C-alpha cells in the first residue's frame, strides 16, 4: 500500500475515533447543564486510565499489549464499548496484531455488530486497513477476512457502490 494511502487511512481512523469519543462525551440535550449523556463506564474512562498508566511507566518496552488486549476483550464482553475500542486502538497502533484484527472486525461490513462496536455502521476501508495490519503481524485468519472483504467489494462495486470501488483500488 502506498504511503499516502496509509497516511490517509490513519488520519481517517483518528477522525472516526475522535468523533466517536466526542459524541460519547457530549452533554445530553435532556440532561441538566454540566451533566454528560453517558456514565463514566461508557465514556472510556477505564481505558484512558490504563493507557495513562502505561504512558507514565515510560517507553521502556515493558508494555504488555496482550494484557491490554485481554482487558479490551473484558470491556467488550461487559458492553463497555468505548473502553474496549480505545484499548484495541492503543494496542493496534503499537503493533499488536490481534487488536488490529478486532478493530477490523468492528468495521467489517460482513462481521459488523452494533452491539460489539461503537460504530453504528461498518467502514470497509478501515476493515481493510486493520486486517492488513493484523495479517502483517501474523494473524493468519486476517487473510480469509481480506479475501471475503474483497469478494464483498467486488459484489458491491458491481452494484455501483462507490465506496467499494475505491476499496478495490487497494488490491491493485
118-144, pLDDT tens digit by residue? 888 999 999 999 999 999 999 999 999
Q: Where are the domains of the chain?
A: 3-171
Are 20 and 82 a contacting pair, CB within 8 Å? yes
Take residue 172 and report the three cell numbers written for it: 491493485
Spatial contact of 40 and 48, defined as CB atoms under 8 Å apart: no
CB-based contact 14:32 (threshold 8 Å): no
Beta carbons within 8 Å of 74's beta carbon, 6+ residues apart:
none
Closest by CA to 9, choosing from 118, 155, 124, is: 124
H-only helix segments in 26-96: 45-56, 65-77, 81-93
Contact 71, 87 (CB under 8 A): yes
Q: How much is the pTM?
A: 0.74
Q: Which pLDDT belongs to residue 168?
A: 95
- In this structure, are residues 47 and 90 in contact, taking their beta carbons and an 8 Å threshold? yes
Give the residues of the chain that fall short of pLDDT 70.
1-42, 58-61
Do 126 and 12 touch, CB atoms closer than 8 A?
A: yes
Amino acid at each position: 500500500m502506498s504511503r499516502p494511502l496509509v497516511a490517509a487511512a490513519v488520519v481517517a481512523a483518528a477522525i472516526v475515533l475522535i468523533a466517536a469519543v466526542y459524541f460519547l462525551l457530549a452533554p445530553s440535550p435532556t440532561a441538566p447543564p454540566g451533566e454528560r449523556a453517558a456514565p463514566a463506564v461508557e465514556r472510556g474512562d477505564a481505558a484512558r486510565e490504563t493507557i495513562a498508566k502505561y504512558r507514565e511507566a515510560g517507553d521502556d518496552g515493558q508494555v504488555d499489549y496482550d494484557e491490554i488486549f485481554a482487558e479490551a476483550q473484558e470491556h467488550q464482553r461487559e458492553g463497555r464499548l468505548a473502553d474496549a475500542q480505545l484499548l484495541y486502538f492503543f494496542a493496534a497502533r503499537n503493533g499488536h496484531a490481534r487488536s488490529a484484527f478486532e478493530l477490523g472486525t468492528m468495521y467489517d461490513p460482513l462481521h459488523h455488530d452494533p452491539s460489539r462496536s461503537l460504530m453504528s455502521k461498518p467502514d470497509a476501508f478501515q476493515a481493510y486497513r486493520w486486517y492488513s495490519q493484523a495479517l502483517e503481524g501474523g494473524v493468519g485468519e486476517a487473510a480469509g477476512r481480506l479475501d471475503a472483504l474483497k469478494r464483498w467489494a467486488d459484489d458491491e462495486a458491481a452494484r455501483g457502490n462507490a465506496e467499494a470501488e475505491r476499496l478495490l483500488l487497494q488490491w491493485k
